[in-house]
Amino acid sequence: MEAHFTEWLNLGIRWIHMITGIAWIGASFYFVWLENNLNRSNPREGLAGDLWAIHGGGIYHLEKYKLAPPKMPENLHWFKWEAYATWLSGVALMLVVYYLNPSLYLVKPGIDLAPGMAIAIGFGSMLAGYVAYHLLCNSALGKRPALLGAVLFVLLIAAAYGFNLIFSGRAAYIHVGAIIGTIMVGNVFFTIMPAQRALVKAIENNTTPDPSLPAKGLLRSRHNNYFTLPVLFIMISNHFPSTYGSQYNWLILAGIAMLAVLVRHYFNTRHDSNKYVWTLPAAALGMICLAFVTGPQMKSKATAAPQTAEQAATAQMVEPIAPATGDFAQVNSVIQERCSVCHSATPSSPMFSAAPAGFMLDTPEQIKAQAAKIHAQTVASQIMPLGNITQMTQEERDLIGTWIDQGAQLD
C-alpha cells in the first residue's frame, strides 16, 4: 500500500504544481503582452498608456499609470500567490520524487555519493543560483541586458554539466529547472513585491513614489518571462529519454533552451515589428537538427572509441569474441529478471503497485510491441532500470540491442 499512496501523493502534488504554474505563467505572459501593447501616443495626464481589448464577449479598457494614481483604489488585485504556490509545490514534488529515494532517482548509477550529500547539493544549488543571479543583476552587468543574459545562460548550462556528473539525467535536468524556478520566485518575493508595496505605501502617505523600484520590478518580471519556456521544457523532459538520457544532455538542454528564448523573444517583440519572425522557422529547424544528432546511429558513432595502433595490432592477434546472438529466449530471460520486477501487471518491486506508465513486459508479444522503447531506455540511453537497481550488465544491454537490430523476432 505504501507504493500506492506514494503514487497518489506524487499525483496530488504534481497536479497542484501544474495548476499554480499555469496561473503564474499565464499572468506573466499576459502582463508582458499588456506592457508591450500599450498605446503610448498622447496618453492623458498621469498615464503611461492605455489599451483596448476584446475577449470572451466583452470589451475592456485598461490604463497604466506612469507611477501611481492620485488616490489608492478600494480594490487592488495582487499577483503573488501563484508564484509562491508553484515554487512550494515544486519543492514538495522534488522531495517526493527524488529525495525520498535518492539512491534510485537522484544519484547517478556508479557514483559514490552519499544520499544526504546529494540532497544537500540539490538544495544548496537552488540557493546559490539565486544569490549569484541577484549579485549579477545588481552589478554593472545589470545595465547590459544582452550580456547579462549570455552570462546567465553559460552559468546555467555549466550547472547542467556539473549536475550530469553526479545526478541521473532526469535529476540533472530538474535541478537546473529548480534553480531557474528559485530565481523566478526570488524575483517576485525579494524585488517585485517590495517595489509594489513601496508604491502603494507612497500613495497612502501622499508622497512621491521612487520610480527606480517599479523599473527594477519590471525588469525582473521580464527576466521571469524569458525563463518560462526553458522551465516548461524541463517539466516535460522526463517523458523524452533521448534528451536527458544522452551523455551530452547538458548540450541538448542548452540547444532547446536557446531556441525557446528565441521564440519567446519573437512573441515579446512582435507588437513593434516582425523582424524576429525568423526565430520561428529557426527554432523548428533547430529541433529537427537536435532530433537528428541525438539519434541512435549518431550516438553510437560519437561513443565509439577510436583504436590506437597498438590496440589494433593486439586485436589481430586474438580470436574474435562471438557477438551476442539476439536469441529471444536469452532476451526474455534478461527482461524478466531485470525489467519485469517493475514493468509487470503485478510488480514484485515494493516501489510500485502497478506497472509504471502502464508499461508491461510480461509476455513475448508485449516485449516485441515495446521493442523501440526498450531500446531507447535500456540500450541507447541506459537510463533503465532506474538507478540500475537490478544490476543489468553491459553484455545484457548488448544482447537486447542485437535482438532488436535483427528485427525483434520471437522465434
Q: How confident is the model at residue 304 (pLDDT cuts 50, 70, 90)?
A: very low
pLDDT of residue 251: 96
pLDDT higher than threshold 70 for residue 325: no
pLDDT higher than threshold 60 for residue 299: no
Same domain assignment for residues 284 and 339:
no
pLDDT of residue 327: 84
244-253, 301-310, 370-379: which has the minimum mean pLDDT?
Answer: 301-310
From 252, 272, 296, give the residue that closes a domain: 296
Is residue 307 a part of any domain in this protein? no
Same domain assignment for residues 136 and 256:
yes
pLDDT of residue 30: 94
Is residue 37 a part of any domain in this protein? no
Same domain assignment for residues 234 and 292:
yes
- Radius of gyration (C-alpha) of the chain in whole angstroms: 26
Is residue 192 a part of any domain in this protein? yes
pLDDT higher than threshold 50 for residue 287: yes
When the pLDDT of each residue in the chain is averaged and rounded to a whole number, the result is 88
pLDDT higher than threshold 70 for residue 323: no
Same domain assignment for residues 205 and 352:
no
Same domain assignment for residues 194 and 283:
yes
From 296, 314, 339, give the residue that closes a domain: 296
Same domain assignment for residues 119 and 211:
yes
Is residue 154 a part of any domain in this protein? yes
Round to whole Å and give the CA distance between 137 and 124.
Answer: 20
**How does pLDDT run across 10-41, given as a tens digit for each residue?**
999 999 999 999 999 999 999 999 999 999 99
Is residue 291 a part of any domain in this protein? yes
Is residue 58 a part of any domain in this protein? no
Residue with the three cell numbers 539476439? 326
Is residue 19 a part of any domain in this protein? no
Q: How confident is the model at residue 320 (pLDDT cuts 50, 70, 90)?
A: very low
From 251, 274, 296, give the residue that closes a domain: 296
**How does pLDDT run across 99-145, given as a tens digit for each residue?**
988 988 899 888 889 999 999 999 999 999 999 999 999 999 988 99
Same domain assignment for residues 128 and 229:
yes
Same domain assignment for residues 393 and 284:
no
Same domain assignment for residues 340 and 289:
no
Is residue 49 a part of any domain in this protein? no
Same domain assignment for residues 352 and 230:
no
Round to whole Å and give the CA distance between 125 and 138.
Answer: 20
Same domain assignment for residues 259 and 120:
yes
**How does pLDDT run across 55-96, given as a tens digit for each residue?**
998 999 999 999 888 888 889 999 999 999 999 999 999 999
Domain range for 114: 79-296
Same domain assignment for residues 284 and 384:
no
Domain count, the chain: 2
For the chain, give the secondary structure using H, E and C: CHHHHHHHHHHHHHHHHHHHHHHHHHHHHHHHHHHHCCECCCCCCCEEEEEEEEECCEEEEEEEECCCCCCCCCCCCCCCHHHHHHHHHHHHHHHHHHHCCHHHHHECCCCCCCHHHHHHHHHHHHHHHHHHHHHHHCCHHHHCHHHHHHHHHHHHHHHHHHHHHHECHHHHHHHHHHHHHHHHHHHHHHHHHHHHHHHHHHHHCCCCCCCHHHHHHHHHHHHHHHHHHHHHHHHHHHHCHHHHCCCCHHHHHHHHHHHHHHHHHHHHHCCCCCCCCCHHHHHHHHHHHHHHHCCHHHHHHHHCCCCCHHHHHHHHHCCCCCCCCCCHHHHHHHHHHHCCCCCCCCCCCCCCCCCHHHCCCCCHHHHHHCHHHHHHHHHHCCCCCHHHCCCCCHHHHHHHHHHHHCCCCCC
